[in-house]
Structure 1
Amino acid sequence: MSNDPLREGAGLLRIAASAGWSTAQWVVHTTVHTGSRVVRGLASGESPVKIAGELGTELRDAARSVVDPPATEPRPTEHQSSVAELRARGAELLRRSADVHFVEDMHPAYDRILGELTPDEARILRFLSKEGPQPTVDVRTSRPLGIGSVLIEAGLSMIGRQAGVRNLSRTNAYLNNLFRLGLVWFSREEVEPSRYQVVEVQPEVQAAMAKAGRAPRTVRRSIHLTPFGEDFCHTCLPLDT
């Protein structure tokens, strides 16, 4: 084993230099540092032997860190099904569909959906299941022929209030999540005209109409459970309470 730290450090540098561009950048930086250290040491009267020994140790440690960097823990990765695995699952579904003895008591997505609902959203679903489609209105500014009309508020309803949700201001966010899950849909069709009169006198609708300025107009729409939502409610929610 060599007792000359400078010679050992220089040998490691030659190995590190073959490792690529990033190592070459490190070599340039180290060379500048080494030259500065020698000049400062000699100017302050340090022994050349002491300077050489310290530099050799630094070069040896730094070069080894480039050649053999410390191991890092691999990041855990989620399992992702291959095409073959997905196709095998699809084939199994088709096999069950042809099996006259196979009985599916509920949709497999219902378990996941229940984990993505808030208590208030469950209340809304139960209300829609028991009371049917509900009226909603959009408030817009009034323009000739509707050209250039600006939407002020959309989807205003009494659904949250009538369902008894605790966070009334989040009603539209709840409905958006239920739509995302495929449980409700926003229809352009109207329900009975008389039902909109109660909605249009609600404080939030009146505030939107005042914001719309002169002669605001309302666009009447409705919110329904989808067939998937209806089956979900009858399967997962106690509708008789």
Structure 2
Amino acid sequence: MSNSPIREGAGLLRIAANAGWSTAQWMWSTTVHTGARVVRGLAAGESPASIAGALGADLRSSVETALGSPVPPPATEHRSSAAELRARGAELLRRSADVHFVEDMHPAYERILGELTPDEARILRFLAKEGAQPTVDVRTNRPLGIGSELIEAGLSMIGRQAGVRHVSRTNAYLNNLFRLGLIWFSREEVDPSRYQVVEVQPEVQAAMAKAGRAPKTVRRSIHLTPFGEDFCETCLPLD
């Protein structure tokens, strides 16, 4: 049975409840009426779906009477059909074959800009100008690596060097940029000498102390993806 009329009825009851104590009596009488309507409908052999639909209409009419004003119908979300999606895909293929069609930028860039924080824009600009950056994971040290426990992952100086306002959120920022396809976390190292500065940072030292005797650091790096590089060149001032 579809539960949209039931959700609508629950929403109407909340609207009526917010109208004040005077509506409480109306709510009580409506509840009694609703129960009686369900019993009569089932006894008459009506389907549960038709009963729910009728209750939604009755509740809406009753709320409008109690409040003295019309209640707007709930918004419905449009979902494209398979045929509509296929038509859009066919249009893309048609454009790809059109030698006169010029696409200035990727259509996702506008949406991505709306999903970035100012700090994340700073990180992107920093990576675009300075290139790949070193990161380290801190693990406990076990013979042959068997049973080694990860203490902290993705520790870097990217937030500080980019000048973000909320340095503690750097890893969250990086995760969002990865979700958007703008950066990637590589297992490859950059210049080994660059890790020495990262490994003496307070948060790295704290993780190493937590790891216990002879902690192990795993060196990695963070890069812009080719998609991220194009995004930065298109959307961010890099000078």
Q: Shorter-normalised TM-score: what interval? A: 0.7 to 0.9
What's the counterpart of residue 164 of structure 2?
165
Per-residue CA distance 1:110-157 (angstroms, 9 max, x = gap)? 000000000000000000000000000000001001110100000000
What's the counterpart of residue 96 of structure 1?
95
What's the counterpart of residue 41 of structure 2?
19
For residues 1-241 of structure 1, the aligned pairs below 5 Å read 18-20=40-42, 69-71=58-60, 74-240=73-239
Q: Superposition RMSD on alpha carbons, in Å?
A: 2.3
TM-score, normalised relative to structure 2: 0.73
Q: CA deviation at 1:71?
A: 3.2
Tell me the distance in 1 between the aligned counterparts of 2:44 and 2:197. Answer: 71
Tell me the distance in 1 between the aligned counterparts of 2:190 and 2:101. Answer: 40
Letter of the 1:70 partner, please give it: L
Tell me the distance in 2 between the aligned counterparts of 1:117 and 1:16. Answer: 50
Q: CA deviation at 1:15?
A: 9.0
Q: CA deviation at 1:162?
A: 0.4
Q: CA deviation at 1:17?
A: 5.2
**Structure 2 residues without counterparts, runs of 5 or longer:** 1-35, 46-53, 62-71
Tell me the distance in 1 between the aligned counterparts of 2:37 and 2:194. Answer: 83
Per-residue CA distance 1:15-39 (angstroms, 9 max, x = gap)? 975411699xxxxxxxxxxxxxxxx
Identical pairs, percent: 82
Letter of the 2:234 partner, please give it: T
Letter of the 1:224 partner, please give it: H
Larger radius of gyration: 1
Q: CA deviation at 1:75?
A: 2.8
Q: CA deviation at 1:182?
A: 0.2
Q: CA deviation at 1:74?
A: 4.5
Q: Secondary structure at the match of 1:149?
A: coil
**Runs of 4+ residues over 3 Å off in structure 1:** 14-18, 71-74
Tell me the distance in 2 between the aligned counterparts of 1:16 and 1:85. Answer: 39
Q: Secondary structure at the match of 1:20?
A: helix
Cα pair distance change 1:16/1:179, threshold 3 Å: closer
Tell me the distance in 1 between the aligned counterparts of 2:91 and 2:38. Answer: 55
Tell me the distance in 2 between the aligned counterparts of 1:16 and 1:110. Answer: 52
TM-score, normalised relative to structure 1: 0.72
Tell me the distance in 1 between the aligned counterparts of 2:186 and 2:41. Answer: 64
Tell me the distance in 2 between the aligned counterparts of 1:197 and 1:185. Answer: 22
**Structure 1 residues without counterparts, runs of 5 or longer:** 1-13, 24-64
Tell me the distance in 2 between the aligned counterparts of 1:112 and 1:18. Answer: 52
